């Protein structure tokens, strides 16, 4: 017992030693990426695979495990590449501090390393598409947000918007109508593509859309109308 307590105390000193802080941030980043990826993907995969995929219980369980593992691996590996690159860029900076474009370069390398080389992986595609949609929304906000308004979320580096639209009335109109336009066009495009080019839609989205919009056109009894598909 005493040896265990001594070992725990020694590890505690290492963990709290500023000399090892940079290396330990990589460990914690990988850990958090894996945990978050597992939490996000597991319930999603569980529902989508068991509801919309055919096969045995074993095959479905294997698919859930593989999807969860892939999501956790992607986020954990991206965290490792991104944070390692940020540390390297900071240490090679003439001032020893983070530069304005470091996050872009680190994200570029991480995006290519983890996601850019796995074009046929559906989990990677879903993550990238999710991120891309959020980028579009963020850029739209930055375009109309005044320069002096910060992020407001306690995130380091919040420097306000770009204020590309100077006219106040036009900016308010864009803010008011931007989301309705974005949402409407997004659904218009996905429904058009699903209707005429369904093979181009990501497989899990295609399955859920088929369940809602195609399989609802057919039934042969009250049971298949209200309780179970034909």
pLDDT above 70: residue 148: no
Other residues' Cβ atoms within 10 Å of the Cβ of residue 67: 21
Tens digits of residue pLDDT in 10-32:
888 888 888 988 999 999 999 99
Contact 161/144 with Cβ under 8 angstroms? yes
Six token digits for residue 31: 């850990």
Helix orientation angle between 122-144 and 168-196, rounded to the nearest 10 degrees: 160
Contact 69/45 with Cβ under 8 angstroms? no
Cα–Cα distance measured from residue 42 to residue 64, given in angstroms and rounded to the nearest whole number = 7
Tens digits of residue pLDDT in 37-65:
999 999 999 999 998 888 999 999 999 99
- pLDDT greater at residue 89 or residue 149: 89
**What is the domain partition of the chain in residue ranges?**
1-117, 125-196, 198-230
pLDDT at 157 (0 to 100)? 58
CA distances, 8 to each of 4, 22, 31 (Å): 6, 21, 20
Residues 6+ apart with CB under 8 A from 214: none
Tens digits of residue pLDDT in 183-211:
788 888 898 999 999 988 888 788 888 98
**pTM assigned to the model:** 0.78
């Amino acid at each position: 017992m005493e040896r265990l307590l001594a070992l725990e105390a020694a590890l505690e000193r290492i963990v709290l030693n500023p000399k090892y802080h940079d290396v330990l941030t990589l460990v914690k980043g990988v850990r958090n990426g894996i945990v978050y990826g597992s939490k996000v993907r597991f319930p999603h995969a569980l529902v989508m695979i068991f509801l919309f995929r055919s096969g045995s219980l074993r095959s479905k369980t294997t698919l859930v495990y593989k999807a969860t593992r892939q999501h956790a691996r992607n986020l954990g590996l991206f965290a490792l590449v991104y944070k390692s690159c940020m540390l390297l860029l900071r240490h090679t900076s003439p001032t020893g501090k983070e530069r304005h474009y470091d996050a872009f370069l680190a994200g570029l390398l991480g995006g290519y390393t983890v996601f850019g080389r796995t074009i046929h992986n559906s989990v990677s595609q879903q993550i990238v598409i999710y991120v891309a949609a959020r980028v579009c929304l963020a850029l739209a906000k930055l375009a109309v947000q005044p320069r002096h308004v910060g992020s407001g979320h306690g995130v380091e580096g919040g420097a306000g918007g770009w204020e590309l639209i100077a006219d106040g009335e036009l900016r308010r109109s864009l803010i008011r109508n931007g989301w309705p336009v974005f949402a409407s066009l997004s659904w218009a495009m996905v429904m058009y593509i699903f209707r005429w080019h369904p093979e181009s839609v990501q497989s899990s989205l295609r399955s859920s859309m088929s369940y809602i919009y195609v399989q609802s056109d057919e039934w042969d009894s009250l049971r298949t109308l209200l309780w179970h598909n034909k």
